[in-house]
């Protein structure tokens, strides 16, 4: 089937299309219905079916005689370690950890938070939860204690799995104090914290709830996989929304397993035995889908890399990994390539390595700027494929599906809608827009398998956030257009979400933190363009009447406050004090106008502005901060 036929079939006969894909998965009990539409708009896939994702990712390969194949390679330049696990070894480790969790009383449906660095034990923890039907929620290690506390209160985990430390280039980040602080702040208290001790920085287990990972797994007995309903939640992954309260995206076992395996061949064109590397972090959706689940379900070798594109030790790090481990397909964010390009503009490091096994580079997480695309194409001599997706979908909405039919690349576009996604562009009134016209990008329901089923314990927020704007459609939150050849262009977000180094962050969340400072009367956070990270957050604050402390001190405190409350990953370093914020007459802060001023873009003075003169004041403050940076 070519792309056109495949796409058409997926939309017109989804049951036939995904039912066939599901044959590739081992089911303990076959489903009654491929697509269950009995409770619209809560569509469910493979209802009545039972399976276990961990079985399909590990035991299945061992049972069919591939136990000696390498399942996972851990490459860590920051600890000078390289270690690999066969499918049998990984299965055994996971079965033991699952046994240890079961011994602590973790049963099907219990939540387990995983707050860990990029080490194999993190993947083992996820798979161990899946093995016993527990629902994992991985929290990215770069988030501060306060963010972890919010997630603890929402997910209410019985157990938290963590490690003594993470390593950021040459800096040891002690996780245990952050974890203890988060539990101190949270209303919900886990029964146990299971801590993996790393030699780079061990920690004291002081609290009675703390358990030593290595000790409890030594005493545990391995357990088998528990078959669960296809609709049973596999995991919750929190992502940024418009407020500081993160949204707990819920993903099921059945649809997810089917689509993850399907995507490996159809989108990435990889087969069992190929070495697949997603250079992301397990704390993000890319890490869930393409470091852990999809490559293992497919029987590939997956790579976990604990390092950076540059500085560990140099801008040749990616090429070393590709060459040393014979990576065939790699997936990362454009920002990583911008970092490499900045240090090695002529690609000298690339020439030092044998990349003959490398076939395709996939990029996602943020808009891929044409400069980065061309640089990667020119220096790597392989197809460079931009694809568009979100935490909510868990896999790509638009891509150049290399295993179905490869199309010519158009710079700036992630190519066409992937089978299963009926992507449309609507205006504010819900009318379909003609080719080339910008509007809200939506997906007609039902979403294909593997996408979010709801928000954790918040069906109402799910409906309001994603389905209320246009009846029968999922609102992606992205704006853009589709051209005459059906190529999709993602241009911007329609909400208060910004994308910093491929990380999705809420400006609303940062505003809540700034507003909590005693000297701040009012504030706004908006995104400004950055040549390395894509965007950076910029804060503008109005001080409370009578505050006469030096502005520099307040600015330093605000930067530290965001670091403490959200985390270093927010990269919040730009903040300035202004006299007033520009607003409409109805009081809405004109954030996008301020972004445009900071970026040096043309802007129209909004007709509804309360006082146009404020924009001159804002321009002056931004100039003092160095923005627009080209002036």
Residues that bind ligand COA (CB under 6 A): 141-142, 166, 168, 173, 279-281, 284, 286, 308-310, 332-333, 335-336, 339, 365, 501-503, 568-569, 571
Calpha distance 501→568 (Å, rounded): 12
Pick one of ligand COA, ligand AMP, none as the site partner of residue 281 (Cβ within 5 to 8 A by kind). ligand COA
- Cα distances (angstroms) measured from residue 146 to each of 115, 136, 239, 397, 566: 13, 19, 15, 32, 7
Q: Closer to ligand AMP at the Cβ: 275 or 282?
A: 282
Question: Counting contacts by CB under 6 A, is residue 373 touching ligand AMP?
Answer: no
Question: Counting contacts by CB under 6 A, is residue 415 touching ligand AMP?
Answer: no
Pairing of strands 503-506, 422-426: unpaired
48 three-class SS: coil
Pick one of ligand AMP, ligand COA, none as the site partner of residue 229 (Cβ within 5 to 8 A by kind). none
Pick one of ligand AMP, ligand COA, none as the site partner of residue 186 (Cβ within 5 to 8 A by kind). none
Subset of 204-243 contacting ligand AMP (CB under 6 A):
239
Beta carbon of residue 25, minimum distance to ligand COA (angstroms, whole number): 26
Query: Which of 35, 78, 321, 490 is close enough to bind ligand AMP by CB under 6 A?
Result: 490
Question: Counting contacts by CB under 6 A, is residue 414 touching ligand AMP?
Answer: yes
Q: Closer to ligand COA at the Cβ: 354 or 556?
A: 556
Q: Which position's Cβ is nearest ligand COA?
A: 142
Subset of 380-409 contacting ligand AMP (CB under 6 A):
386-391
Beta carbon of residue 207, minimum distance to ligand COA (angstroms, whole number): 22
Tokens coding 566 = 């959200």
Beta carbon of residue 63, minimum distance to ligand COA (angstroms, whole number): 32
Spatial neighbors of 107 by CB under 8 A, at least 6 apart, are: 132, 133, 134
Question: Counting contacts by CB under 6 A, is residue 365 touching ligand AMP?
Answer: yes
Subset of 252-311 contacting ligand AMP (CB under 6 A):
285
Calpha distance 399→389 (Å, rounded): 9
Q: Closer to ligand COA at the Cβ: 328 or 335?
A: 335
Beta carbon of residue 61, minimum distance to ligand AMP (angstroms, whole number): 28
Q: Closer to ligand AMP at the Cβ: 353 or 470?
A: 470
Pick one of ligand COA, ligand AMP, none as the site partner of residue 266 (Cβ within 5 to 8 A by kind). none
Helices (H) and strands (E) in the chain, counts: 20, 32
* DSSP secondary structure string for all residues of 198-248: PTTS-----STTEEEHHHHHHT----PPPPEETTSEEEEEEE--SSSS-EE
Beta carbon of residue 266, minimum distance to ligand AMP (angstroms, whole number): 18
Pick one of ligand AMP, ligand COA, none as the site partner of residue 493 (Cβ within 5 to 8 A by kind). ligand AMP
Cis check for the bond before 628: say yes or no (omega within 30 of 0): yes
242 and 262 Cβ atoms separated by less than 8 Å: no
CA angle 185, 563, 537 (to 5 degrees): 130
Rg value, the chain, Cα: 24
Pick one of ligand COA, ligand AMP, none as the site partner of residue 386 (Cβ within 5 to 8 A by kind). ligand AMP
Cis check for the bond before 616: say yes or no (omega within 30 of 0): no
Beta carbon of residue 280, minimum distance to ligand COA (angstroms, whole number): 4
Burial 454-487, CB ≥16 within 10 A → b, else e: bbbebeebbeebbbebbeebbbbbbbbbbeeebb
Beta carbon of residue 477, minimum distance to ligand AMP (angstroms, whole number): 6
Beta carbon of residue 287, minimum distance to ligand AMP (angstroms, whole number): 11
- Cα distances (angstroms) measured from residue 62 to each of 43, 261, 322: 34, 17, 26
Beta carbon of residue 85, minimum distance to ligand COA (angstroms, whole number): 22
How many residues form the binding site for ligand AMP (CB under 6 A)? 20
Calpha distance 548→410 (Å, rounded): 54
Pick one of ligand AMP, ligand COA, none as the site partner of residue 571 (Cβ within 5 to 8 A by kind). ligand COA
Calpha distance 379→345 (Å, rounded): 10
Helix or strand holding residue 552 (H, E):
helix 551-565
Beta carbon of residue 340, minimum distance to ligand COA (angstroms, whole number): 9
Calpha distance 94→409 (Å, rounded): 41
Question: Counting contacts by CB under 6 A, is residue 504 touching ligand AMP?
Answer: yes
Pick one of ligand AMP, ligand COA, none as the site partner of residue 367 (Cβ within 5 to 8 A by kind). ligand AMP
Q: Closer to ligand AMP at the Cβ: 227 or 411?
A: 411
Q: Closer to ligand COA at the Cβ: 233 or 502?
A: 502
Spatial neighbors of 229 by CB under 8 A, at least 6 apart, are: 47, 49, 50, 253, 254
Residues that bind ligand AMP (CB under 6 A): 239, 285, 364-368, 386-391, 414, 477-478, 490, 493, 499, 504
């Amino acid at each position: 089937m070519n792309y056109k036929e495949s796409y058409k079939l997926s939309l017109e006969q989804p049951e036939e299309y995904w039912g066939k894909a599901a044959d590739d998965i081992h089911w303990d009990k076959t489903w009654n219905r491929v697509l269950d539409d009995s409770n619209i708009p809560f569509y469910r896939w493979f209802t009545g079916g039972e399976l276990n994702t961990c079985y399909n990712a590990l035991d299945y390969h061992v049972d069919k005689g591939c136990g000696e194949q390498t399942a996972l390679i851990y490459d860590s330049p920051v600890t000078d370690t390289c270690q690999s696990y066969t499918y049998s070894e990984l299965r055994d480790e996971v079965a033991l950890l699952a046994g240890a969790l079961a011994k602590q009383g973790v049963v099907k449906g219990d939540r387990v938070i995983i707050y860990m660095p990029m080490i194999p034990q993190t993947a083992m923890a996820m798979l161990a939860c899946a093995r016993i039907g527990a629902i994992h929620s991985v929290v990215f290690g770069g988030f501060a204690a306060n963010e972890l506390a919010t997630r603890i209160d929402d997910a209410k985990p019985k157990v938290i799995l963590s490690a003594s430390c993470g390593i950021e280039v040459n800096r040891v980040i002690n996780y245990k104090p952050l974890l203890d602080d988060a539990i101190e702040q949270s209303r919900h208290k886990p029964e146990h914290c299971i801590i993996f001790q790393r030699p780079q920085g061990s920690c004291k287990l002081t609290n009675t709830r703390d358990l030593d990972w290595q000790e409890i797994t030594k005493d545990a007995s391995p357990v088998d996989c528990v078959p669960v309903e296809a609709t049973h939640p596999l995991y919750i992954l929190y992502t940024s929304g418009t407020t500081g309260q993160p949204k707990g995206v819920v993903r099921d076992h059945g649809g997810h397993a089917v689509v993850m395996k399907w995507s490996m061949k159809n989108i990435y064109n990889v087969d069992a035995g190929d070495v697949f590397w997603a250079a992301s972090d397990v704390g993000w959706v890319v890490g869930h889908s393409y470091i852990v689940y999809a490559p293992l379900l497919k029987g590939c070798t997956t790579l976990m890399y604990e390092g950076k594109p540059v500085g560990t030790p140099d801008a040749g790090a990616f090429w070393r990994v590709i060459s040393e481990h014979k990576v065939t397909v790699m997936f990362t964010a454009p920002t990583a390539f911008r970092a490499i390009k900045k240090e090695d503009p002529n690609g000298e490091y690339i020439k030092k390595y044998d990349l003959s096994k490398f076939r395709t580079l996939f990029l996602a997480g943020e808009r891929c700027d044409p400069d980065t695309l061309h640089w990667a194409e020119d220096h790597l001599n392989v197809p460079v494929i931009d694809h568009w997706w979100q935490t909510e979908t868990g896999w790509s909405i638009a891509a150049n599906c290399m295993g179905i039919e490869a199309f010519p690349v158009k710079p700036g576009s992630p190519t066409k809608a992937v089978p299963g996604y009926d992507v449309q562009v609507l205006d504010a009134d819900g009318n379909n827009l003609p080719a080339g016209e910008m509007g809200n990008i939506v997906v007609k329901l039902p979403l294909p398998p593997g996408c979010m089923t709801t928000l954790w314990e918040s069906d109402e927020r799910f409906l309001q956030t994603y389905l209320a704007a246009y009846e029968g459609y999922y609102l992606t939150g992205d704006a853009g257009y589709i051209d005459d050849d059906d190529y999709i262009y993602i241009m911007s977000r329609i909400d208060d979400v910004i994308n910093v180094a491929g990380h999705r962050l809420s400006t609303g969340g940062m505003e809540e933190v700034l507003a909590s400072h005693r000297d701040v009367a009012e504030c706004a956070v908006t995104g400004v363009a950055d040549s390395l990270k894509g965007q950076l957050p910029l804060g503008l604050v109005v001080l409370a009447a009578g505050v006469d402390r030096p502005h520099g001190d307040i600015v330093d405190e605000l930067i530290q406050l965001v670091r403490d409350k959200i985390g270093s990953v927010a990269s919040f370093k730009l903040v300035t004090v202004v006299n007033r914020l520009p607003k409409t007459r109805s009081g809405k802060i004109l954030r996008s106008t301020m972004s445009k001023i900071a970026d040096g873009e043309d802007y129209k003075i909004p007709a509804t502005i309360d006082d146009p003169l404020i924009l001159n004041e804002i321009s002056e403050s931004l100039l003092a901060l160095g923005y627009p940076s080209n002036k």
